[in-house]
Amino acid sequence: MAGHSHSHDNIDWDEHLQRLREADEFNAPEIEALVDKLLRPSDRTVIEIGAGAGGTAAAFAAALQGADAELTIVDTAEQLLAAAGQRAGEATADTGADVAVHTVRADAADDSLAAEIARSEASERADLVYAAFVVHHLPDQLAGLRRLADLVRPGGRLAIVEFGLQTKTLPADIGLGEPGLEARLIAAREKWFEQMRADMDGAVRLPMGWNRALGEVGLTGARSFSYLVDRPAPLDEPGRAAVLRRLEMLRRHAEERLDPADVAALDALLDPAGEHYAGSRDDVFYLTANTAHVATKPE
pLDDT for residue 275 is more than 70:
yes
Distances (CA, A) of 177 to 189, 260, 264, 272, 284: 19, 10, 9, 19, 17
Query: For position 210, which CATH number holds?
Result: 3.40.50.150
pLDDT category at 2 given cuts 50, 70, 90 is: very low
Q: Is the pLDDT of residue 9 over 50?
A: no
Could you say which DSSP state residue 12 is in?
A: B
Task: Tell me the mean pLDDT in the region 148-173.
Answer: 97
Asked if residue 277 has pLDDT above 90, the reply is yes
Number of separate domains in the chain: 1
Q: What pLDDT, on the 0 to 100 scale, is given for residue 16?
A: 79
Mean pLDDT for all residues in the chain: 93
Compute and round to an integer the Cα radius of gyration of the chain: 20
Residues 132, 92, 241, 179, Cα dihedral to 10°: 30
In tens, the pLDDT along 39-48 reads: 999 999 999 9
State yes or no: cis peptide before 154, omega within 30 of 0: no
In a 13 Å sphere around the CA of 113, the CA atoms on its Cβ side amount to 26
Q: What is the pLDDT of residue 121?
A: 85
Contacts of 115 (CB under 8 A, 6+ apart): none
pLDDT in tens, 121-133: 888 999 999 999 9
Confidence check: pLDDT of 242 > 80 = yes
Mean pLDDT across 233-244: 97
Tens of pLDDT, residues 247-274: 999 999 888 899 999 999 999 999 999 9
- Assigned domain for 74 exists: yes
* Interatomic CA distance for residues 161 and 33, integer angstroms: 14
Q: Picking from 54-58, 74-78, 139-143, which range would have the lowest pLDDT averaged per residue?
A: 74-78
How many Cα atoms within 13 Å fall on the side-chain side of residue 6? 5
Does the pLDDT at position 24 exceed 90? yes
Q: How far is CA 178 from CA 123, 168, 174, in A?
A: 55, 17, 9
Judged against a pLDDT cut of 50, whether residue 203 lies above it is answered with: yes
In terms of residue numbers, what domain contains 99?
A: 13-296
Q: How far apart are CA 49 and CA 78, in angstroms?
A: 13
7, pLDDT greater than 80: no
Predicted local confidence at residue 37, as pLDDT: 98
Residue 81, in any domain of the structure:
yes
How many Å from the N-terminal Cα to the C-terminal Cα in the chain?
45
SS3 55: helix
The percent of residues in the chain predicted with pLDDT above 70, rounded, is 95
Rounded Cα distance, 69 and 104, in Å: 17
The answer to the question of residue 172 being in a domain is yes
pLDDT of 1 reads 30
Buried b (16+ CB within 10 A) or exposed e, 17-49: beebbbbbebbeeebbebbeebbeeebbbbbbb
Give the model's pLDDT for residue 8: 54
Give domain status of residue 4, yes or no: no
When pLDDT is averaged across residues 104-121 and rounded to a whole number, the result is 94
Sheet holding 152-168, edge to edge: 99-105, 69-75, 45-49, 126-132, 152-168, 286-296, 220-231
Residue 59 has pLDDT above 50, yes or no: yes
- The pLDDT score that the predictor gives to residue 6 is 43
